[in-house]
Structure 1
Amino acid sequence: MTTMTMTATPVRPRLVTRPLMLLSAADFLGLTSFYALLSVVPAYVSGGVGAGLATGTLMLTTVAAELALPRLVARFGYRAVLAAGLLLLGLPALALPFSAGLPMVLAVCVLRGAGLAAIFVVCGAWGAELVPAQRRGEGLGLLGVVAGVPAIVGMPAGLWLATQVGFDAVFVAGAVLALLGLAALPTLPGGTGQGDATGVVAALRTPALVRPSIVFAGAAMLSGIVATFLPQALPHTGEGFVAIALLVHAVTGTAARWWAGVFGDRHGAHRLLVPGVVTGAAGLAVLVVTTHPVAVLIGMAVFGAGFGTVQNASMAVLLQATSPSRYGVVTALWSVAYDTGFGAGALGFGLLATTTGYPVGFAAAAALSVAALVVLRRVR
């Protein structure tokens, strides 16, 4: 008679919980409001410099707000800061139907930028606390899907609605979506935040945090260019094709964020940073051939895959380099890298493209993002 010894298989902790679902709902609605207006507002302003100023103001204001958010979260908690963010993201959009003038649009962008900062930082940090550490990469991938679906739906739907019904309908819809996110907050448990109020500037003195942030900022620069200027760069294709191209970019980006999370849990997220940047730059370089619709779709698919990979991997690397008490600071740093790159890309490309044209501008931006890898080596 033999005795068989059985080894118990470790039970994987549950990933999807009620608190995570409630937070994801607020995140989804807030980001859908953001993405619905992201490509519509530049078209509403009309003009390369005005479009670049609108997106640049939105994102650079977001950066300024993110610098203060770790201290605000430490003082008021996640729930209060997220509620304020949803209000700032929603209510100002209702002012846009009254004027298409640049002063009004920029004022709205300033307020919405502050709201967007709260969405990015709070949902990222709170979400990182709600997922088990053993499945962090996969959890970040899931949160990435929640954040990616609004881009899939919001940007194409916003452009379509603007052309079919008018700009005012998009602005009202964006406001309503953000305000609906408030409904998820009263029953969301916790939300007090953690007490480390050290600022983002202090985090910049830590090389392990600076390195992936530089990589991510370079990738985000290209995303700002695509989101702002793709409709203007493809006037001959029509709004329907632009919506499809943005949809392709969003779908591949969302899928890549999920895949990068699973891969990162098994093999290490740091292995994905450089390949993701190179892939994204290659996709943007394809957009030089803007007269060929098939090439544009291929370029958007490749760019989305590269950018989605860098999004997940950079956040995972940052979280691994710090403690849970500093998740708010790290998430703010990641968001600052995203918004700085996104806003600077939109603003700089708007000035460049008026002189060089869009194809040359796309090629130059792709080369610049790859050049950021040289800076990365110096930081090391």
Structure 2
Amino acid sequence: MTTSANCPPRTATARPSLLTRPLLLRFVSLVGASVSFFLLLSVVPAYAAGSGGGNAAGLATGSLMLATVLGELITPRLVARHGYRATLMAGLVLLGAPALVLTVSSDIAWIVAVCLLRGLGFALTIVAGGAVTASLVPAERRGEGLALVGVVSGVPSLVALPLGLWLVTHAGYGTVAVIGGTAALAATVSVLGLPDANARKAVEGPRPDRPVGVLRGLRTGALLRPVLVFATTATAAGIMVTFLPLAVPRAHSGVVTPALFVQPAAATATRWLAGRHGDRHGSARLVVPGLLLSAAGVAVTAATGTPAAVVAGTALFGAGFGIAQNSTLALMYARVSPSSYGTVSALWNLAYDGGMGVGAAGFGVLAGATGYPWAFTVTALLMPAALAPAVRDLRPARLRRS
């Protein structure tokens, strides 16, 4: 049974427990995957740029996201065949093992191959893991639960994203790559304690709803609209993490690390606040503010030669991005039955990773023609195009059952 996206859950006399043992175990694999991914997210493009310049940096991030997007399309089928645990463990191995051999060569073909494998692994971890997480969070506390998950995944990104660049200057690329790979591989043990696909079917009952497929979800406005809005903000996120270290003039390079710290910090805080607000008042009304704050942050960051503007812009963007993350995901889960949580996870992460990949690849070409400040400005001006689907979601929407 689906619920209206704009109606907050009914208040229960006894709220169900949120921090269960399976959810805590899920947090272990979530942290391991997040540390592995974000520690190397800006490091690998910088490593690639050392031999191929800005185009090579964009290619590294673009290939990572391309493999992630393709992997997200097939993960629901892999889960149906092999279950959540096997799929999630395979993802952690593919995310971690290639990182251990990243610095064997600086050739761009080798770097792209490593990124492709890690992208596929990341897809398996986020889609299979995301569906497990959603099934472990009580519907009455969905917004708060997703906010908590956002904090658990946001803290590693908060620390790992700037830490990766700092470690490179003090320990070298090889050490950072090994740390990132080990983080994912070590988390595989925790997956054994998670419920598998059969366990979820038992929870859903003897006659579960027919799940919505990925292709049908993309043809359904109630799911497609949040996907389009979030993909727009994710495009800017891919630009920020890939090109901010290259866009800031060398004289002000010291501002990059704090800026990359402030961005996920703001996103983590607002993702939590958006989840709490969404449970009480509905998530739909947060989509437009999230989009506009994100665009404003990109516009401010365009002043790459002014350190204060770079920090303020990344903070503003992070705040908007965190709101967009929670509100769009909560809307999508509210519009499907539990049998379609895997599809929602795949669609939302397709928007995330596809947007980041498109942003990284396209921005590199644009910046080569206009320079970084104008490229940031053009990006900020294009983002409000997603206001149309965002405004449409201010009205209640319901996805009909199959």
> Which TM class, normalised by the smaller chain length?
over 0.9
Deviates more, 1:188-197 or 1:59-68: 188-197
Residue 185 of structure 2 corresponds to 179
Distance 1:343 1:28 in 2: 22
Give the secondary-structure state (helix, strand or coil) at the position aligned to 2:336. coil
Residue identity in the other structure for 1:370: P
Partner of 1:136: 142
Deviations 1:173-200 (A, max 9, x none): 1110000111211223445455866531
> Residue 71 in 1 paired to residue 77 in 2?
yes
Matching residue within 359, 363, 369 for 2:373:
359
Deviation at 1:206, TM superposition (A): 1.0
Does residue 57 in structure 1 map to residue 63 in structure 2? yes
Partner residue in 2 for 1:216: 230
Match of 1:167 in 2: 173
Structure-1 residue corresponding to 2:3: none
Q: Deviations over 1:190-223 (max 9, x none)?
A: 4545586653122111110001100000000000
The structural deviation recorded for 1:375 is 5.9
CA RMSD of aligned residues (A): 1.8
The answer on 1:99 being equivalent to 2:105 is: yes
TM-score by length of 2: 0.89
* Matching residue of 1:4: none
Measure the CA separation in 2 of the matches of 1:57 and 1:80.
25
List aligned pairs for 1:300-315, cutoff 5 A: 300-315=314-329
Query: Which of 95, 119, 127 pairs up with 1:89?
Result: 95
Letter in structure 2 aligned against 1:126: V
Match of 1:227 in 2: 241
Is the Cα–Cα contact under 8 Å of residues 70 and 198 in structure 1 kept in the other structure? no
Q: Structure 1 stretch 75-84 or stretch 239-248: which is displaced more?
A: 239-248
Deviation at 1:374, TM superposition (A): 3.7
1:71–1:198 contact (8 Å) kept in structure 2: no
Over 3 Å counting, the alpha-carbon distance change for 1:197 and 1:208 in structure 2 is closer
2:35 maps to 1:32: yes
C-alpha distance in structure 2 between counterparts of 1:282 and 1:341, whole Å: 18
Q: Which runs of structure 2 are paired with 1:341-356 in the superposition (5 Å)? A: 341-356=355-370
CA distance in 1, matches of 2:170, 2:160: 15
What's the offset of the Cα at 1:378? 8.4
Gaps of 5+ in 2: 1-10, 202-207, 396-402
Task: Give the whole-Å Cα distance in 2 for the aligned partners of 1:307 and 1:269.
Answer: 14
Separation (CA, whole Å) in 1 of partners of 2:12 and 2:326: 28
Runs of 4+ residues deviating >3 angstroms: 189-199, 237-240, 374-380
Please say if residues 319 and 330 of structure 1, whose CA atoms lie closer than 8 Å, have aligned partners that are also in contact: yes
Q: 2:299 aligns with which of 267, 279, 285?
A: 285
Name which of 24, 28, 45 aligns with 1:21: 24
CA distance 1:166–1:62, change in 2 (3 Å) = same
Q: CA deviation at 1:235?
A: 3.6
Secondary structure of the 1:14 match is coil
Amino acid at match of 1:301: A
How many angstroms does 1:376 deviate by?
5.5
Q: CA deviation at 1:234?
A: 1.2
1:262-341 pair list within 5 angstroms: 262-341=276-355
How far does the alpha carbon of each residue in 1:142-188 deviate from its partner, in whole angstroms, 9 at most, with x for none?
00111111211111110001111100011111110000111211223
**Of residues 267, 271, 281 in structure 2, which corresponds to 1:253?**
267
AA at the equivalent of 1:13:
P
| Structure 1 position 372, deviation (Å) | 2.2
Matches within 5 A, 1:362-377: 362-374=376-388
Once residues 195 and 335 of structure 2 are traced to their aligned partners in structure 1, the CA distance between those partners, rounded to angstroms, is 27
Letter in 2 for 1:161: L
